[in-house]
Structure 1
Amino acid sequence: MSEQTRAEPFPALSALYPSLGLVVRAGDLTLRPLSDEDLPEYAALIRRPIFEDPTSPQVFPWYRAEPETRVREALRFQWTLRSGISPERWTLAFGVWAGGRLIGAQDVSAQRFAERRTVTSGSWLTLDAHGNGYGRLMRQAMLVLAFDHLGALRAESAAVVGNAPSYGVSRACGYIDNGTEISTIPGSSEEQQRFLVTPELLRRPDVPVEVEGVTPALREMLGA
C-alpha cells in the first residue's frame, strides 16, 4: 500500500473528548478519569469493603445494594457522568491509583462554573487503603487542579455528622466549617456538616502536584 492510500491513524479518544486526557499526579498517587478499560478493575474494587461498619449512616446509599447490583449501577453512573459533561453542569470522576493499583475514587463537580467558580467533591477509598494519608493527598491534588488550573475560587464538601475521618481529611486540607444541611443524595436524609476552602485557605501537599491535559478544548467543555 502506498503512502498516499494508507489510512491515517485515528486520533486518541482524549483528543475527541478532552476530559479523558486529564492526569493528576501527587507523590505515588495518580488521578485520571476512569476509562472503559478501567471499569472491570473498578467493578472488582467496589465489591470490596469500604466501610468498617456497613450499617453506619455514613455508608453511601449506593454501597448498600447487593454487590452485583452495586456494580451495574456504578458502571451506569460512570457512563452517565462522562456523557453529561457540559459548561452548565459537570463531574470529573477520577480513579485513584497508588503505585499502579486502583484504590478508590475522587470526583469534582460544578454547576454553572463560569459564573460561580465553585466546585464540590466526593471521594472514597477501599478499607485496606486507609491510614496512609491517601485521602488527604488525593483531595489536595483535586483542589490544586480546581484552583490552580481550572480557576475555581471556592470548593465545598460535606460529610455525615459524626464522620470523624472525613472531617479530619477536610480540616487537614484547610477547609473551615460552613454550616449544616440535610443530605440531598437520593436515599439519604442524614444531617451533614458542610465545609468550605478557598485558594488562600488551602493547605497544599508536601509533594509537587503535576497536572496534564488542561487544554483549551477542556476549558471550553467545562466553562473554565
Structure 2
Amino acid sequence: MAEHLDDHDLTILHPPFGLVLRVGDLTLRPLADADLAEYAALIRRPIFEDPDSPAVFPWYRADPETRVRNALAFQWRLRSEIEPDGWTLPFGVSAHGRLIGCQDMSASRFGERRVVSSGSWLTLDAHGKGYGKLMRQAMLVLAFDHLGALRAESLAAVGNGRSVAVSRGCGYVDNGTKVSTLPGPVHEEQRFLVTPESFRRPEVPLRIEGVTAELRAMLGAP
C-alpha cells in the first residue's frame, strides 16, 4: 500500500501548494482539497449587497448547489491546466484562520508578456474592513517582486464602487473601457493597469513563502 502523502510531499508534486502570503491579518494560499469543504460553505454565503447588480459574477447567479458543484470542478481544472503558456493561481483568503474569500492571479505566456490579471471576491460580512485592498497588494508583491511581472491588469463593472476603490488604492490607473463578454446582462467594464512604479505597497508587514525554482519554471517566470 502506498504511503500517505503529507503537505510537504504535495508541495513537491505541485509547487503552488507551497505558496503562502501573509499580510496584516490575512493569509493567502492556493486552495488544496482539504480546504474545499470550507470553500463550498463559503460560496453558499452572500457576496453581493445587490444580487441584481451587473457586478454579480455569472457563476454566482446559479443556485447554491450548482454553484458549489461548478466551483469545485473549476478548482480542480485550474490545477491541471497550469503551464508556462497559461495559468491561474486561485488563492483562498483567510482572516484569523477563517476563510473569507478568494484572490486569483492569471497570466498568458507570462515569460514573454510579463503581464498578470486578477479577480477577487469576499463574503459580504468581510466587506468594509480593508481586506480587498490588502489581498490585492499581497498578490501584486508576489507578481512584481518575486515573479518579475512588469504590468498587472484588472477590471470592474462600471458602478462597482468597492472594486474601483480597491484598484485605485493599489495604484492602478484607468486603461479604457470594454463591453463585458461574460454570460448574463451586458454591461460596461472599466479596465485598470498598474506597474511596479505606480504600485502602492501595503503599509503592514508582508511575508511570502514558497517561491521556488520549480514554481517559477512551472509559471514561465523569467
Indicate the residue corresponding to 1:128 in structure 2: 125
One-letter identity of the residue aligned with 1:165: R
Q: CA deviation at 1:8?
A: 8.2
Cα pair 1:89 1:113 within 8 Å, conserved: yes
One-letter identity of the residue aligned with 1:223: G
Q: Which has the larger radius of gyration?
A: 1
Pairing 1:7-156 to 2, within 5 Å after superposition:
12-156=9-153
SS in structure 2 at match of 1:135: helix
Deviations 1:87-120 (A, max 9, x none): 0000000000001010000000000000000000
Indicate the residue corresponding to 1:161 in structure 2: 158
Cα pair 1:61 1:188 within 8 Å, conserved: no
TM-score, scaled relative to structure 2: 0.95
Pairing 1:179-198 to 2, within 5 Å after superposition:
179-187=176-184, 189-198=186-195
Deviations 1:158-197 (A, max 9, x none): 0011111110000000000000012233445321000000
Closer, same or farther: CA 201–76 of 1 in aligned 2, 3 Å: same
RMSD of Structure 2 on Structure 1 (CA): 1.4
Distance 1:132 1:9 in 2: 40
Q: CA deviation at 1:82?
A: 1.1
Deviations 1:180-215 (A, max 9, x none): 012233445321000000000000011121111100
The answer as to 2:217 corresponding to 1:220 is yes
Indicate the residue corresponding to 1:3 in structure 2: none
TM-score, scaled relative to structure 1: 0.94
Distance 2:114 2:65 in 1: 37
SS in structure 2 at match of 1:74: helix
SS in structure 2 at match of 1:210: strand
Structure 1 runs of 4+ with >4 Å offset: 7-11
Deviations 1:120-139 (A, max 9, x none): 00000000000110000000
- Aligned residues, how many? 218
SS in structure 2 at match of 1:119: strand
The answer as to 2:152 corresponding to 1:175 is no
Q: CA deviation at 1:77?
A: 0.6
Q: CA deviation at 1:9?
A: 7.7
One-letter identity of the residue aligned with 2:163: S
Residue identity (%):
73
Deviations 1:19-70 (A, max 9, x none): 1111000011000000001000000000000000111111001000000000
The answer as to 2:186 corresponding to 1:206 is no
SS in structure 1 at match of 2:199: coil
